Structures are given as C-alpha cells and as structure tokens.
Structure 1
Amino acid sequence: MQIRSFTILLLVCVLLSIQPALAFTSYDVEEDMEILQQIDDDVYAAGGALQINSDINGDLVVTGGNITVNGDISGDLIAAGGTIAIRGNIADDVRIAAGKLTISGSIGDDVIAGCSQIILEENATIGGDLVAGTDKAYLYGDLAGNVSGNFGTIILGGNVAGEMDIDADNIQTLPDATFQGERIISTDTYPGQTESDENGYGFIDIVFWLLRYIMLLLTGWIILYLATNSIEDMTFQLTDKPIHKTLAGLLSLLGILMGSILLAVTMIGIPPALILFLILVFLLYCARVIAGLWLGKKLFGWLDRTTTRWQEMAVGIFILLLLGSIPYIGWIVYMVATLLSTGAIYYLLKEKVRNRPA
C-alpha cells in the first residue's frame, strides 16, 4: 500500500465505522477496563489500562495507557497508547501509534505503525505489508508482504516474502532469516525521508500526524476533565458571530506572540516570555480540541447517535486533522477552525471577567 494514500484510507476507515447503517459499542472510562463478553459491533474504547479479552465482530478503535488485545478482531484495529500488545488475531488492517508495540498473534493485512519499539514475535504473522517508523524493530515472525519505512535498528529473524525498501542505521540478520524479494537499503534520501516526501506525503509526515492526533487527544482529555461546562458552552456557541470570533482569535494569538517576543528581548523578561509562549501553545491545542468537539457533535447529531463527549472529541479531532491534510486548502480549514475557536475562548474569558463580582 502506498504511503501517499494513507490519509485517504484512514478517512475511509473512520467513515465506514460510523455510517448510519452500522451500530457500535463504546466505553469511556478514566480507570482500568476489561472487556470479557463477545461483541458483535464496532467498539470504541478509551481508558487507562485496557484488556480486550473477548472476540469483537467488527472494528476496534481504542486509546489508553496500556492496551492488551487478547481476543480476535474480525475487522480493523486502530489504537494509540503507551504500550500495546496484540496477542489475538486481527482479520484486517492494523494502525498503531504507541511507545511499544508487541505482536504475538496474526494480522490478516497491512500494519502501519509509528512506535519507539516494534516486536514481531517468532510465531506471529503479518499477511500484508509492514510500513513503520521506529527506533528499534525486532522482526522474528513472518511477513507475507513488503517492509518499508524508517528504522533506527532492525533485527530480522523471520521470513519476508516481499521486498524490503527501508532507511535504517543498523541492520542485523539472524541465521534463520530468509528473503524472497529484493532488499533495498535507501541511501540517497535524507534521514527519515522516503520517495513520497517529494509529494508531501512522506512517512515521517504520517508519524508526526499520528503524534499530533495523540497530543490533541491527551490535551482534550485534560481540558474536558477540568473545564467540562466551559468547553461545552464554547462548543455550542462556536458558530455565533463567526466573523467577530475569527478576528478576535487572530488578534489574541498575535497579541500573545508579540508579547512573548517583546519580553524575550530583555534578559529579565525571558522567564515570563517562555511562560507566555507555553500559554500560546496550550491555547492553540485547546482551540483545536474545541473545533474537533464541535465537528464530532455535528457529525453524531447528523447520524442521530447518542455518544459521549470523549467519542465526539476523538472522531472530531481526527476529521479536523484529515481536513487539514488536504493539499492546497487544508491549511485554510485548519487556520479558520483555530482562529474561530480561539475567539470563542476569548469571548468566554471576557464574559467571565465582566460577570465577576467586584
């Protein structure tokens, strides 16, 4: 599967998983969770430590700290977390963003992963391609397709039926490793770059896209927990006076940026300038979370589905980032959403200050 089509494929996966003709089961918890009974729906789950100990006849979309999939999944697996272990069998594709990924079962089709470490254990199999960006990869299992991407260190101990087209700093081949396709170690590109980077859809771009999505999810989780009512108010009133809010958002961001620059030119002003800059970064994240939550609410409202705020936010942010990835016009969508949401934050703070008792 070509890397340049990955964004389109992700959008298709999301739209297929939420179309009106399909049902889904959702879980939104702050602590540990375990799924023990078979589910004949798509499943969306978020929590701390998640144990999937039953079969799921559908897709599994999950995010959490530690994720363990012991059951079999008849559809796709899309997961983001700290540590992810796949011990069951996944019938279709796998999309992963994690610190560490361990695959002990079988994957029916492609695996696309951005991780610090990937382990494909000895009896594990991947039925399609492996496209990865990782510091360390231990591939002891068998792959029916191609291996491509960027690797720091890659240790090969299984069978690769397809081609290997990779950027790697260190490659170790164990005695039991076999190769049926061609081995190509890229040396004519910059570190972390692949051929498709020329068209703006390089592998590192995809990894950073996934990291941005995870960071926005974590930020959204925090602000939803700390300021649920305020976020809800801004979301519901986001499209009121859109021009005024967009201008207010632009002026607010420029004001904070210029203030941090002016403070930074003096030695005594460097600490407050850094604080102001961090506030600016957090404000940008909050604005995109609000825009994503608004998109999620609109989408699920159109589908006439009852959902949690977490699901609305997760799907909405996903769609916002996808829209922002559209060539030529994506940056406009992303900028307008950011400015509009920043303006909503400004108006809410202004109202709170105005209504504060003297």
Structure 2
Amino acid sequence: MLKVVRRFSRLCYLCILSSLWLIAAMMLSGKVPTASAATLSADDGPNPCTGAYHKPAFGSTVVVNSGEVICSNLTSFGSTVIIRGDVIGDVVAFGGDVVIAGDVDGNVMLYSGNVTLQDSAHVNGDIHLCGGRWLHGSDAQLHGSVIDCTHTVSKLVLGDGSLEFHFWSLLTWVALGVLLTSLLPEHVMLVRTTARNKLRRSLVLGMLSILLAPAILAVLVALIIPIPLAILIAIVLIAAWALGTISVGWLIGEYIVRIVSPQHNTRVLQVVVGLTVLVLAGSLPYIGWLVILGAGLLGLGAVFLSRFGTRLYSQPKQPLPM
C-alpha cells in the first residue's frame, strides 16, 4: 500500500511540475516580440526602442513613462500596469488593472482586471476581457474590438486545443483561496504544514475518507431519520475538500514563487500562483483528473489530521511563516 501511495504522490509531483512548463508556454506562446516591429524600425531609420520586458512582473506596479518605447510584450501577475509611453507588443495582465495613456501597438488581454483608456490613449489591437470591464475617455482611440470572453466562451483554449483553461473555475478557486487565507490564515497554514510534513499519511486518510463516505451517507439516508445528519456530513466533506485543496495550492505556490520571484514572495501571490497551477494542471487531457484528485485527497487527509486546521499534527522543523 505504501508503495502505491509513494508512486501516486510522485506522479502528482510530476504533473504539477509539467504544469509549470505549460504556464511558461502560455506566457510565451504568441507573446514573443514579433519580428515585424524590428523590421519596421530598421527600415524606417534608427531603432526607436528604449527597452523590453523579458520576464513577467509579479505584484509590483509597472510604469512605462512618457518617451519610453517598449518593444516586447508586457506580462504581469497581480500588478497595476500604467502605460504613458509606447508599447510595441501585447499587454497581458492576470489579476491586475491596466491604465493606458499612451500607445499600444498590439492586443490588450486582461484576466480578472479592468482596463482604462484615457483621452490620449491609442490602442492598435483588440481588448480581451475575462472577468473585468473597460473604461474609456471620449478622445481615446481603439482600432480593434472589445471581446468579452465571459460572454462569448466559457473557456480559453491554448495551442491546438489540447489544453482547456476554465476561466470561471480558476476565478472561483482563486477568490475562495484569497478569502480563506485572509480570514483564517492560521487554519490554512496548519493544514498546509500537515500536508507537507505528513504527505503519505494525509493521502491514505484522504483515500479512506472518500471510500467510506458514500457508504456512510447511503446508510444514513436509508435510515430516513438522520437525513439532516447526512446532509451535514456531505457539507463537511465539501468544505474539507475545498480547505485542503486551497492549502495544497498555497504550498505549491510558495515553492514556485520562492524560486521564480523571491523578492515578491507574498501570501496572496503564493495562493494565486499555486491555485492557477492546479487549475491548469487539472485541465490537462487524460491526467488532469489525477492531479486534481491527488491534490484533493492530500488536502482532505491533512484537514482531518489537523482537525480542520485547529491543531498542529506534528512539530515543524522550523517556525511557520505567516
């Protein structure tokens, strides 16, 4: 049994690591500075570019000042983007607002954020909104269309369509994760610590809970009288699954942010990144369900071991960071 659990946990880790490559592909696919801008500047005279963004921004305010010409795509996570100069490329923002008072020669794509076009704004491309809205001044110019993905489609497709990115699922999990970690940070922290320190035991307990729960609920429903108790148990299981999944997502996000952007290693960013990875990994064909199931079972077992995050199951090797 332990060998099976060990292999199962290793497979979950491999799936999570592979999803990191998918996020990198999502940020780079279609978001690499195009050769047309370089060719245009070379034919028309001196290169007007004054800079480029080769890495995404995490949690900080990104400002393109007046007179600057950025010849690259601009990608941000949880950041406010202010453009007063020129951007030759796409502007992509996850969980942040974009304010444009200059020129953007490319598309503007926002996921759970708002875009504001001031009177001096010129956008030569489309605006894609997923869970946000756009405001514009009377003199702002948009040479393209405003596409609301929440009204036209319920999912975003990456590449050739083999990976489905469910926007509403991501938005729900991220919102719930930020809410729980803000209101009950100690409880989520204790569940997360239990999942990390007692991985095998948490997985086994999560599996046993899922296997036994249907039988217990069926018996209670058959008895008729304890039906409210059966409903209560079902609600408790759903709440435990959600709390455990968010805790595992926070654990994954902490690892990723610590490696990718240690200078912006905040709790909110860890939760957003970790749950985004889980949702993306869960959208993988064939093995996506295995990732979600593994994370859920691990979190469920950790929730029960820590008694819903009210006690520390085992003494940590180092103080718990909040």
TM-score by length of structure 2 reads 0.59
Structure 2: segments with no counterpart, 5+ residues: 1-19, 32-53, 314-322
Which amino acid counterpart does residue 221 of structure 1 have in structure 2?
Answer: V
In 2, the alpha carbon distance for the partners of 1:107 and 1:130 equals: 14
Shift of 1:297: 1.3
Q: How does 1:267-278 map to 2 (within 5 A)?
A: 268-278=225-235
In structure 2, the partner of 1:78 is 93
Change (3 A) 1:282 1:22: same
Change (3 A) 1:210 1:298: same
In structure 2, the partner of 1:322 is 280
Is the aligned partner of 1:292 residue 2:309?
A: no
Select 1:60's aligned residue among 70, 76, 86: 76
Q: How does 1:216-255 map to 2 (within 5 A)?
A: 216-255=173-212
The question of whether the paired residues in 2 share the 8 Å contact of 1:109 and 1:129 is answered with no
In structure 1, the partner of 2:59 is 26
Q: Secondary structure at the match of 2:195?
A: coil
Q: Deviations over 1:214-266 (max 9, x none)?
A: 11112112221233233223334423342221111122234445444544456
Shift of 1:312: 0.8
Shift of 1:315: 0.8
In structure 1, the partner of 2:303 is 345
In 2, the alpha carbon distance for the partners of 1:131 and 1:350 equals: 39
Change (3 A) 1:229 1:39: same
Change (3 A) 1:353 1:100: closer
Change (3 A) 1:240 1:211: same
- Bigger Cα displacement from structure 2, 230-239 vs 260-269: 260-269
Select 1:132's aligned residue among 143, 149, 170: 149
Which amino acid counterpart does residue 256 of structure 2 have in structure 1?
Answer: L
In structure 1, the partner of 2:269 is 311
Shift of 1:322: 1.5
In 2, the alpha carbon distance for the partners of 1:132 and 1:236 equals: 37
Change (3 A) 1:317 1:233: same
Q: Secondary structure at the match of 2:197?
A: coil
The question of whether the paired residues in 1 share the 8 Å contact of 2:91 and 2:108 is answered with yes
Change (3 A) 1:331 1:350: closer
In 1, the alpha carbon distance for the partners of 2:279 and 2:137 equals: 33
The question of whether the paired residues in 2 share the 8 Å contact of 1:246 and 1:343 is answered with yes
Structure 1: segments with no counterpart, 5+ residues: 1-6, 28-34, 42-54, 135-148, 151-191
The question of whether the paired residues in 1 share the 8 Å contact of 2:104 and 2:124 is answered with yes
Identity over the aligned pairs, expressed in percent? 17
List, as ranges, runs of 4+ consecutive aligned residues in structure 1 with deviation greater than 6 Å: 99-104, 116-122, 192-196
Q: Secondary structure at the match of 2:191?
A: helix
Which amino acid counterpart does residue 172 of structure 2 have in structure 1?
Answer: M
Shift of 1:287: 2.0
In 2, the alpha carbon distance for the partners of 1:331 and 1:124 equals: 44
Shift of 1:23: 7.8
Answer 1 or 2: higher relative contact order, Cα 8 Å, separation at least 6.
2
